Amino acid sequence: MRFDIVTLFPDFFASPLASGVIGRAIARQIATVHCVNPRDFTEDKHKRVDDEPYGGGVGMVIKPEPMFAAVESLPSLPRRETILLTPQGQPMTQTLFRELGQGCDQIVLICGSYEGIDERVTELVTREISLGDFVLTGGEIPALALINGVTRLLPGTIGKRASHEEDSFENGLLDYPHYTRPPVFRGRAVPEVLLSGNHAAIAQWRYEQQLQRTRERRPDLLDSV
């Protein structure tokens, strides 16, 4: 999987993408990540990428010329999605991550900044995606979340497929509680069923816990189960 990030702040991604499971996946070429800076495609000596909005208003708007040039400079693989990270997009979900991971060879992520991006940039876009119903200073954090969520599902990133098949949201429910040693900690004991060795009983307990947690914390999810 190839990720191309169109961002004014490429240094933002250096440490997160070098760390942990995702860092190892990138080191093993399961995924590759490339950053392109629209400032490199400006033609004035100040490398200006923004301007005042037509019609007035606060803030600055990213100009279309450097954004178009940055995206058009990228190679194009056969199964490519070009995504604008924006609060107005469809929410990120586990289903979306799975769809992108299975259906794409290349994902281009356009990170907005300032007050917004010139609307004409959406002509380049095949999807608009949101991290949630809130506003951040730019699209870099949502881009990281999407790269993480998709890459961890790619074959070879996580050793055991079951590790993510049983994640929260994979079956429409929240995850069940997890326990490890010691069997008793500060008076709180591990549920006996988990120590029983009865795999059928453990599976049933876990499913019941998923239902209970979802009912208590995210009852909205039960409508789709």
Q: Which residue of the set 10, 16, 53, 87 is catalytic?
A: 87
Catalytic annotation on 152?
yes
Q: Which of 132, 117, 41 is nearest to 82 (CA)?
A: 117
Catalytic annotation on 115?
yes
Q: Which residue of the set 65, 81, 115, 175 is catalytic?
A: 115
Q: Which amino acid would we find at residue 141? A: I
Confidence of residue 73 (pLDDT cuts 50, 70, 90): very high
Confidence of residue 175 (pLDDT cuts 50, 70, 90): very high
Residue 161 has pLDDT above 90, yes or no: no
Residue 103 has pLDDT above 60, yes or no: yes
Residue carrying structure tokens 């050793």:
159
Q: Which residue of the set 167, 170, 175, 206 is catalytic?
A: 167
Confidence of residue 171 (pLDDT cuts 50, 70, 90): confident
Catalytic annotation on 128?
no
Dump pLDDT digits (tens) for 5-23.
999 999 999 999 999 999 9
**What does the alpha-carbon distance between residue 158 and residue 97 come to, in Å, rounded to a whole number?**
15
**What does the alpha-carbon distance between residue 101 and residue 21 come to, in Å, rounded to a whole number?**
16
pLDDT of residue 104: 98
Residue 170 has pLDDT above 80, yes or no: no
| Domains and their CATH numbers in the chain | 2-151 (3.40.1280.10), 166-224 (1.10.1270.20)
**CB-side neighbour CA atoms (13 Å) of 112:** 27
Return mean pLDDT, the chain.
94
Instruction: Indicate the pTM of the whole model.
Output: 0.90
Q: Which of 114, 173, 122, 118 is nearest to 139 (CA)?
A: 114
Residue 163 has pLDDT above 60, yes or no: no
